[in-house]
Structures are given as C-alpha cells and as structure tokens.
Amino acid sequence: MAEPAYTVASDGETTGDEKSSFTFPEMAIGIDIGTSQCSVAVWNGSQVELLRNTRNQKMMRSYVTFKDDIPSGGVSSQLSHEQEMLSGAAIFNMKRLIGRVDTDPVVHASKNLPFLVQTLDIGVRPFIAALVNNVWRSTTPEEVLAIFLVELRAMAETQLKRPIRNVVLTIPVSFSRFQVTRIERACAMAGLHVLRLMPEPTAVALLYAQQQQQSGHENMGSGSERIALIFNMGAGYCDVALTATAGGVSQIKALAGNTIGGEDLLQNMMQHLLPDSENLFSRHGINEIKSMGILRVATQDAIHKLSSQTSVQIDVDLGNGLKICKVVDQHEFEEVNREVFEKCERLVHQCLRDAKIEIEDVSDVITVGGCSYIPKVKNLVTSIFKGKELYNGMNPLEAAVSGAALEGAVASGVSDPFGTLDLLTIQATPLAIGIRADGNNVVPVIPRNTTMPARREMTFTTVHDNQTESLIVVYEGEGKKVDENHLLGYFKIMGIPVAPKGVPEIDVCMDIDASNVLRVLAGVRMPGSPKPIIPVMEVRMPTVDDGHGWCAEALNKTYGSTLDLVMVQPKV
Amino acid sequence: MSITLVPACLQSLPKPSDFHGHLKSNNPNRRWNQKCNGIRCCSSRAWNNSTTEKNYYELLGVSVDSNAQEIKEAYRKLQKKHHPDIAGQEGHEYTLMLNKAYGVLMKEDLRRDYDKSIGQMRLQFGRNNSSLGYSSWKGPFRPQALFVDGNACIGCRECVHHASNTFIMDEAFGSARVKLQYGDDDQNIEVSVDSCPVNCIHWVDAEELPVLEFLIQPQPKKGYGVFGGGWERPANVFTAAKSFNKQLKQQEATDFHQRKGRVVEEETPAQAEARANASMNIKMGKFLELWTWMKEALGENLK
C-alpha cells in the first residue's frame, strides 16, 4: 500500500484517533451548559431523565466561586443569597467568554460584570480574574468550565453509580471551531470525552423528531414530513434552526445564530436604569462591585416580573448615596431592547431564506430557552409566522438537554425494543469554511448549511511564475474578506514544480466527519497527470491556539503576497 | 505552533490520483471502512474515470424516474443505517456518497445535468404525465388496479361514457385505456367494467400494473428497408408480462451475485423493489428508442 511521506497532525488535545479508538464503551450523557444555567440528562432505558443535584435541582446555576481554597461551582454549593454570586469572587457567563480574543465586542460587553475582565485590544485572550480575599486571582474560561464540569460529572457518577466518560454537549450555533476546541479542552480537563457537540437547536430538533415519531404522525405513511422552525434564545446566545422531520430522522436544513440573549437584555436594562453605570463601575472597587451586584439582581427580577405583568416597580438602594426608584413597563423594556429583538427577527428570516422554505410550509414553530418566556420574544416569532400557534409539547428549559441525551444514547449504539431510539440527526455545517485566495478574499470550500459529514474539493493555482511554495490559510465564517472570518490554521506546501503561473493545480479538499472533525488536505498536480507531484498533506484543524489575530498579521508581514493562490474557474 | 511532521515512507509516493486513496490508506487508526472501496470521493473527475462506481440512483436504491418524495425516503432509510452516529466511523465514506447523491438528485437542474452525464434519459412519464400510456393514481394506494387489454378492445367507448375520469380513448390506437386509477366512484367503475362488450377491462394486482402498461404499448418493429417496420405489441399481454417478470427475476439474481462482493448488508424490500424498477427501466431500452422518436415527432411539448 502506498504510504504518503508526511503526515501533518496538530498535537491538539482532540485528535480523531482518540475519538474513534473508543467504540462507544458506555452510554454518553447529555449536558447542556448554558450561559446562566446547566443541566444533565441521561437515557434511562425507556425515557430521558434529568439528573438532580443534592438539593433536588434539575437546573443548576453556571458559576464557579473562588472564595475558598477549593473553588466550587453551582452544582454542589448553595448561594446564601443571589448577591453572593455577584461579589466578584464568582466567575459566570463563561460560555460567552470562552475562546474569544480581547478585541471581541462580546468580551468588552462583559467588562460590566462583577469579576474582572481586562483587555489590551491586541487580539490575545482577555485577562479574567476573581476577587479572592481582596486579591484578583487570574483564571480562564476553560478552567472555570472544567471545574464546573468536574462537579457535574461527580454528580452524575454518584447518581448513575458508574463512571462517566462520554458526553454529548450542546453548543451555540455561532460558535467558531476555535471556541469548540476550547470547550473540548475544558472537557478534557474534567476527564470527559466529547462524543458529539450538537448545536442547541439541533438537539431540540432531535427531541422533536422523537415526539413526532411517538405521537403517531408517522403512521400516516410517506407524506408526513414535517418542517419545524426552532427558535432557541437563552441568556447568552440566540439560535435558529429549520429541520425536516420524518420517520425519526431529523434533517437540519439551515442554521443561524448570533451572540444575543438575556444577558444583553439585562445589560441594556441596567444601562437604561443607571445611564452612567459603565463609568461608575469601571474602577472595580469593592463598593462598586457591591452596587453593581445589587443593580443586577434588581434588574433581573424586574425583567422576570415583566414576563407576567405589564409594569414593575424598581426601588433599590445601591449604596454611596445612589438610589433608583422607577416604574418600568413592558413597552419601555421592549423599546430599550429593540435592537436585540430586531436581530432575533433577522435570524429567523435568514434561516428561512437559507433553507429555501416558505413560511406556509412550516408545520411547527418551537420556541425554547429562558428568553422564550418573554412575551415580546413569543410575539415576534408568532408574528413572523402570521399568528401561528407555538408548539407546546416541550419544556423550554429542558428541551436541549433532553435532545443531547437522546443523541448520546443513539451515538453510543443503544437501541430500544420499542423503537423510541430509532432516531437520527443529519447535521449541517453552521459556518462556511474556506481558504484565503484571490488576494485577501476567502473562497469557501465547504459552504454554510452543507449536510454533514461533508467532503468538498476545489482547485487553486499559483499567482506568480516559478512559485514553488504556497500557503494554505484556512478560515471559518461568512465574510468575504479574511479579516471578517475566524482563522483556523495554516500550512505551507513546498515543492511545487517550477512552472509559469496558473499551471500547477493545487487541489484543496476539506473533510468534516460526523463528530465534526475538520481535516484539510492539499495536493499538487501538473496538468495532464493525475498523480500528485508531492505527497498529499493532511492537517487537522484548527491548529492555531491563542492570538490568532497576530498569526494572520505575521503571515502577511513575512510573506506578503508571494505565496498566494487563486481559484481556478471550474471547467464547464 | 502545533504542527508536527512525521516522515513515513519516503520512497513510495501515494499511488492513485488523489486524496481519496490517501484518506483511506494512511489512517489505519481511523478505521475507514475498507469495504466501501467502490465508493470514492466526490470530484467529478473521479466519476468520469471510474466505471466501477455506483451511479446515484443505484446508490440510493431508487429508480431513475423516481420523484423527490421517493428519493427523500430512500435517503433517510439509508442514512438510518449508515450514518456514523449509528454505524460508527465506518459509515463516513458511505454517508458522504449518500449526501452527494442526494444533493444532486434533489435539485432539478443538477439532476438533469447528471442524467445527461450518465447518459440515462429520465423518463418523465407516468405519475404526472398520463398522455403516454401510463395511468396515474387518485387517492390512496389500493392492491387492485384497472387495466384495459388494448388488443381485445374494440373501441366502443362504453367505458369512457360511464366513467369518463377513469378511462380515456386513445385515438391513435383505437382502443381505450386507463387514465386515472379510481378516477370515478366505485359504482361507475363497476358499471363501465360490466358494460364492456368484449370484457377487456381487467382487475389486476397493482404491482403488475406497470409491467402490463409498459407491454401493452406498441413498440416500433425493426424495419429492413421498406419491409417490416411499423408497430407491434404482444398478442397476449398477460403471458408476456409473466415471462417478462421471470426474466426480471433472473436478471436480479445474477445482479445480486455480482453485487454480493460489494454490498455487505441485506437490502430492504423497498430497495429491492426499487432495484427491480431500475433494471426494468434498463430493459426498457427499446422504449427509449420510441421515446426519442416521439420526442422528435412531437417536438419539445412533451417535456
């Protein structure tokens, strides 16, 4: 058998070899790490069951507090008061911070949180720290998440009385592959192996597929394909998916997501109640943190109340002579957050457009996530679908984790005699993946919403005469220009035969498997010969670690355009 | 930076053309299924070069004239068996092929191009085009179907008179035929069947219907100069159908033996049926001649 001379592999913590060497030794559990709340579910042999912690809670607050020597998370510890979480000692919202560089607007928005988020705005990871005994103790979102996952794992192991290793995690649609590796790293730190990462709405879609199959719609025969729109808005992210379901198979037609959620609503509202809060809290002194905590709790309460009543009285003493006394009504709340809601609407429209599905063809509209309790969110979705009634067969907070548990059982090879697990999700790629070519453009090789597993191939060629080397720089995202996208990695091809420009054919092939591992292959051919001139290179992506903003800049500085590629127009 | 170079075997270059060999060969840990050898990656180049590859219709186990709904169902059924979530990593290559095939066949324009490239004319008769001798169905599927033996029919128009939605007069052949199965209510159909003076309207098994309808259509005879030519159809369509089915089964058996090497899993009845349909279509080669001829004669309005 012909062996290629080189294998290029990233030494990242998640190699595919590791993944496939475990042929599902035990059933995976489903974990939904939310920006504000977490839950764990497992297939118990006949149905999905949510695990409860020692305080009998199914939903656990996602935070880790560094107050004592041993950090403890929201699974085991109990807050005496909501404000304790806001004392500066606890880190939360890690799902919003994970895998982001300090130029990201989301990181900047997190500066208003009681713990410390500092940025240098140069494209490196932000400095994050918790206040422990009057000292800022630095940490990372990965570490915080890992501590939290360790607690979740311990809880699941005590309850299920078996070791847990495999998990199915839900992630937001808009997560880049780099962020996904951060999540995987956190899992590795917690001793967990990620069997599948599911975009949240696709987990909901799987639950929907199961419900459809159970409810006997499928007995009608072949014509029972149902199209559902899933709108999932939690504290940190808003995701939309369109799925076509028949016979327990949920086929994801399109995905759309954005980093908007309850946290934005909360921050806008805080800003509205106390217009110069940003300046006030930027010092991060002990007193400021305390007032910020009080304001946050009061605002959160007010928003919760506005879901059931039309107006709410806010009466809060922030200390330092600052007092807020105000009546806020629903209309005011909606006006303050108009932009957020408009973004939500745009996501739904984009998803419908991408899937090429008309509003009339959608059989069910499902809203889940914490924000789905907000009347305005319900209204905006129903008004897009011309007053269609929302699907009410699901618990909005438990849908995603239940779907993850189902996927965990299916992907672990568990089968059920009653056919309840006769399910499948056919995933689609949430973001396009391409390489830099034609100058500073990104040419997508695998477009968005391609059915997974996917493999696509494209041919490129050199831009200079006698160019013997070229760079393959892989990006993820929807932007046309490189700086609008996430850099995933790069490698250099050497040994291109000396030839005039445009002659060598550089084939770039991308392969995504069902567990979402991306491999990029590149080979060089000369026209007329089917054989590669140099051994094919295979690189697992992403290869970049931190500071990816710098990488691209450094590449540009070192090589300029000398190693560029252009796309070859497909021959007709 | 996290890239390591692992020199493996410097002398031997990767053998055939492309990555696909590479993808399978160098990665024993990943357990790519070696049984899937017949299936390769996606590039159009690969398609043209290799004749051992399955075409998209065979891959999905559907007939060339199947509609979107049938393709969708077949695709889902196969996905449920081969998707890596269910079949493990071995299903990867196969699922890639399925996705590719599905992507092409579900898009009308891509499918047309593909049909052209494999040189297989898609027969757009039947279901939505009753003008070509095939009946369509109204309402749910029933085990029995109506069939007019055009040889026996004397063209009395009794049946058309009693059940005008179901039967139609084929002026070209001077005989009646079924346009729409169960197009009228049961009573009218009953009356029209009874009213036939030569008893040429038969109740047949629905499965047999396509074969009968195919055989009853006059086929062009091969001509030698001024001799011969013209049209013919089997004198007894029912016996002809029997022998046709027998041939079909034999063909299927040999096909199956040949395929055994490649396909490891058992096929579902639906796929077997679809395969039978496909090979029937191939056997209808003669019909293609007719089709081309008619297309020329009637211009593009058949489309």
* Most B-contacting residue of A213, A457, A511 (CB-CB within 10 A), to test interface: A457
pLDDT of residue A103: 85
Residue A372 lies in a domain: no
Q: Is A94 helix (H, G, I), strand (E, B) or coil?
A: helix
Kindly give the pairing relationship between strand A433-437 and strand A311-319.
unpaired
A452 and A311 together in one domain = no
- Which domain CATH number covers A90? 3.30.420.40
| Distance of alpha carbon A339 from alpha carbon A346, whole angstroms | 11
Shortest CB distance from A457 goes to which of B14, B31, B42? B42
Note whether ipTM > 0.90 here. Answer: no
Inside any domain, residue A318: yes
C-alpha–C-alpha distance, residues B123 and A497, integer Å: 48
Within-domain flag for A35: yes
- Using CA coordinates, name the residue in chain A closest to B101: A451
Q: Which domains does chain B have, with CATH numbers?
A: 19-117 (1.10.287.110), 130-259 (3.30.70.20)
pLDDT at B292: 58
Contacts of A426 in chain B (CB under 8 A): 79, 83
Q: Do B85 and A11 touch (CB under 8 A)?
A: no
Number of domains into which chain A is organized: 3
What letter represents residue A485's amino acid? N
Best mutation target, A1, A22, A571, to test chain B (most B CBs within 10 A): A1
Calculate how close chain A gets to B290, using CA atoms only, in Å: 31
For residues A56 and A184, membership in a common domain is answered with yes
pLDDT(A254) > 90: yes
pLDDT at B170: 78
The helix (run of H) or strand (run of E) holding residue A137 is strand A135-139
Residue of B14, B72, B73 lying closest to A532 (CB–CB): B14
Chain B: residue nearest A453 by CA? Answer: B96
Q: Which of A147, A165, A194 is the last residue of a domain?
A: A194
State the smallest CA–CA distance between residue A93 and chain B in angstroms. 29
Shortest CA gap B83–chain A (Å)? 8
Residues A271 and A147 in one domain: no
Residues 6+ apart with CB under 8 A from B51: none
- In tens, the pLDDT along A340-392 reads 999 999 999 999 999 999 999 999 999 999 999 999 999 999 999 998 899 98
pLDDT digits (tens, 9 = 90+) for B51-110: 345 688 888 888 877 888 888 888 888 888 888 888 877 888 888 888 888 888 888 888
CATH no. for residue A560?
2.60.34.10
pLDDT at A278: 75
Q: Is A57 contained in some domain?
A: yes
Q: Do B14 and A4 touch (CB under 8 A)?
A: yes
Which DSSP string corresponds to chain B? --EEEEE--SSPPP-SSSHHHHHHHT-GGGT--GGGGG-----HHHHHH-SSSPPHHHHHT--TT--HHHHHHHHHHHHHHHSHHHHGGGHHHHHHHHHHHHHHHTSHHHHHHHHHHTT------BTTBGGGS--EE-SS--SEEEEE-TTT-----HHHHH-TTTEEEETTTTEEEESEET-S-HHHHHHHHHH-TT--EEEEETTTHHHHHHHHSPEEPPEETTEE-SEE--SSHHHHHHHHHHHHHHHHHHHHHHHTTT--SPPPHHHHHHHHHHHHHHHTHHHHHHHHHHHHHHGGGG-
Q: Are A27 and A105 in the same domain?
A: yes
Is residue A200, in this structure, part of any structural domain at all? no
| Domain C-terminal end among A336, A354, A381 | A336
Q: Name A460's Cβ contacts closer than 8 Å, sequence gap at least 6.
A: A435, A437, A443, A505, A506, A507, A508, A565, A566, A567, A568
Q: Spell out the long-range contacts of A298-304 with Cβ–Cβ below 8 A and sequence spacing 24 or more.
A: A298/A324, A299/A266, A299/A269, A299/A270, A299/A273, A300/A266, A302/A269, A302/A328, A303/A262, A303/A265, A303/A266, A303/A269, A303/A333, A303/A374
State the nearest Cα–Cα gap between A550 and chain B, in angstroms: 13
pLDDT digits (tens, 9 = 90+) for A30-64: 999 988 889 999 998 888 999 988 888 888 888 88
Distance from CA of B63 to the nearest CA of A (A): 17
In terms of Cα–Cα distance, which of B87, B183, B196, B85 is closest to B149?
B196
Q: Which residue reads 């913590």 in tokens?
A: A13
Instruction: Using an 8 Å CB-CB cutoff, list chain A residues near B84.
Output: 453, 513-515
Residues A190 and A267 in one domain: no
Q: Give percent of chain A with pLDDT exceeding 90.
A: 41
Same domain for A190 and A266?
no
How close, in Å, is residue B224 to chain A by CA atoms?
41
Report the CATH number that the domain containing residue A298 is assigned in CATH: 3.90.640.10
More confident residue, A150 or B113: A150
**Alpha-carbon gap, residue B152 to B154, rounded angstroms:** 6
Mean pLDDT rounded to a whole number for chain A: 85
Q: How far is the C-alpha of A334 from the C-alpha of A94, rounded, in Å?
A: 26
Q: What percentage of chain A exceeds 70 in pLDDT?
A: 91
pLDDT per residue over A538-570, tens digit each? Answer: 898 888 776 566 777 788 778 877 888 888 865
pLDDT at A528: 78
Q: Are residues A82 and A177 in the same domain?
A: yes
**CB within 8 Å: B8 and A23:** no
Between chain A and chain B, the number of residue pairs with CB atoms below 8 A apart is: 158
CB-nearest to A538 from B22, B99, B103 is B22
Same domain for A178 and A268, yes or no, is no
In a domain, A94, yes or no: yes
Distance from CA of B277 to the nearest CA of A (A): 19
Best mutation target among B85, B95, B106, B109 (most A Cβ atoms within 10 Å) is B85
Q: CB–CB of B3/A539 below 8 Å?
A: yes
Within-domain flag for A290 = yes
* Nearest CB neighbour to A21, from listed B25, B29, B99: B29
B16 contact residues in A (CB cutoff 8 A): 530-531
Both tokens of A225, joined, read 């394909």
A560 lies in the same domain as A466: yes
Let me know if residue A232 belongs to a domain: no
Q: Which residues of A touch B14 (CB under 8 A)?
A: 2-4, 532, 535-536
Select from A309, A336, A363 the last residue of a domain. A336
Query: Is residue A554 domain-shared with residue A466, that is, in the same domain?
Result: yes
Contact residues, chain B, for A539 at CB < 8 Å: 3
Least confident piece of the model among A11-20, A257-266, B227-236, B293-302: A11-20
B chain contacts of residue A248, beta-carbon cutoff 8 Å: 80
With an 8 Å Cβ cutoff, are A426 and B16 in contact? no
CB contact under 8 A, B22 and A248: no
The verdict on A541 and A459 lying in the same domain is yes
pLDDT of residue A403: 94
| Min Cα separation B10/chain A (Å) | 5
Q: Which of B4, B10, B21 sits opposite A9 (nearest CB)?
A: B4
**3-class DSSP state for residue A54?**
coil
- The pLDDT score that the predictor gives to residue A25 is 53
Say if the Cβ atoms of A5 and B1 lie within 8 Å: no
Does residue A311 sit in the same domain as residue A450?
no
Contacts of A20 in chain B (CB under 8 A): 29-31, 88-89
Mutate to test the interface with B, among A6, A455, A458, A519 (most CBs of B within 10 A): A455
Provide the domain limits for residue A71.
16-194
Phi, psi of A310 (to 5 degrees): -80, -25
A5/B92 touch (CB, cutoff 8 Å), yes or no: no
